[in-house]
Amino acid sequence: QHSSEQSEQLAMIIHYKGKAIVKTASFDKLKPKKDALIDKGLSAVIEEIPA
């Protein structure tokens, strides 16, 4: 869970850089969250983080 301040900072990073790591977890845990964002009209993708 992110604080309001962290959420605002992430929004600014995403706005200016185009993307940011918001959460790391297994695909099965991230998929419902991604789908919920898309249902609200936002864009979201799940990417594997290179080792």
Instruction: List average pLDDT for each run of 10 residues in the chain, which is 51 residues long.
Output: 92 94 94 97 91 79
In b/e form, how buried is each residue of 19-42, taking b as 16+ CB within 10 angstroms?
eeebeeeeeeebeeebeeeeeeee
Give the model's pLDDT for residue 44.
93
Give the model's pLDDT for residue 10.
93
Global pTM reads: 0.74
* Residue that has been written with the tokens 């594997």 in this structure: 48
Give the model's pLDDT for residue 1.
81
Task: Answer whether 34's CB lies under 8 Å from 46's CB.
Answer: yes
Give the model's pLDDT for residue 25.
94
